[in-house]
């Protein structure tokens, strides 16, 4: 099983993703793919990692905004947009993390909140030393709900709003206009979109993306276990269905 993992810009962070994906399974090969590389060859699945802001030109955004990096990595953006397009054409499973979620939304025609502001920072933006933690409410009837099952952030299910779980958080951007082909599968309590999947999954390959970092939850053992363990296990099982 060969899983392409886009390079997040840090070897340490890349290794966290690889450890989470493999979970000790020597039969799983994690292939680093990045702009300027060979693309990884024939892959069985794609993981879009976190990292620097996507260049605003790809979603008709403004170049000047709070916490802008000022210099964007357009080569990475183009490479990952192309990798996603090929993955969707080949109908291989795709999983997106943080920036990866945002890139999927942009690729399919959505836009981004360029900066969540001070209130958003108080909930979502971590520090160099640690991520923030906050609750997410998983939507009933979603693919994500079927994957993570019952959660336990301290609040019971309520009506049709779903169930609460605890995630880590380290982002200052988020989805603004949702791409038409996607549906929201969970939100933070302030309304920020925290996960997406196909709105109409029939006939499509597996696609799931989350705004948090399950690979860091795995390493640091924080949050609700299903929100990183079950997601990984389902992703791997979807790849296995293809008879790699």
Residues that are catalytic: 98, 213, 215
Q: Is the dihedral of CA 31, 198, 68, 57 positive or negative?
A: positive
In the chain the first and final C-alpha atoms are separated, in Å, by 6
CA 124 to chain centre: 15
C-alpha–C-alpha distance, residues 117 and 22, integer Å: 36
- What is the bridge-based pairing of β-strands 112-113 and 94-97? unpaired
In the three-class reduction of DSSP (H, G, I as helix; E, B as strand; rest coil), residue 22 is classed as: helix
HSE, side-chain direction, 13 A CA sphere, residue 146:
7
Contact 226, 212 (CB under 8 A): no
Strands 132-138 and 182-188: antiparallel
For the record, the structure tokens of 206 come out as 């597996």
Cα–Cα distance measured from residue 79 to residue 51, given in angstroms and rounded to the nearest whole number: 14
């Amino acid at each position: 099983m060969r899983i392409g993992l886009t390079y997040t810009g840090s070897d340490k962070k890349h290794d966290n993703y690889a450890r989470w994906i493999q979970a000790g399974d020597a039969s799983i090969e994690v292939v680093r793919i990045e702009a300027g590389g060979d693309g990884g060859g024939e892959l069985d699945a794609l993981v879009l990692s976190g990292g620097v802001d996507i260049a605003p030109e790809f979603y008709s955004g403004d170049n000047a905004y709070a916490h802008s990096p000022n210099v964007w990595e357009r080569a990475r953006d183009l490479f990952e947009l192309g990798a996603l397009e090929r993955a969707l054409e080949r109908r291989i499973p795709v999983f997106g993390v943080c920036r990866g979620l945002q890139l999927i939304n942009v690729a399919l025609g959505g836009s981004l909140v360029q900066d969540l502001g001070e209130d958003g920072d108080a909930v979502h933006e971590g520090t160099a030393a640690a991520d923030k933690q906050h609750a997410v409410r998983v939507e009933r009837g979603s693919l994500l709900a079927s994957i993570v099952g019952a959660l336990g952030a301290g609040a019971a299910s309520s009506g049709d709003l779903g169930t609460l779980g605890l995630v880590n958080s380290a982002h200052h951007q988020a989805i603004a206009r949702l791409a038409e082909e996607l549906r929201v599968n969970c939100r933070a309590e302030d309304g920020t979109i925290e996960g997406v999947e196909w709105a109409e999954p029939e006939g499509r390959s597996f696609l799931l993306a989350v705004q948090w970092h399950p690979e860091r939850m795995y390493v640091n053992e924080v949050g609700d276990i299903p929100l990183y363990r079950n997601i990984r296990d389902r992703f791997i099982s979807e790849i296995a269905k293809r008879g790699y």
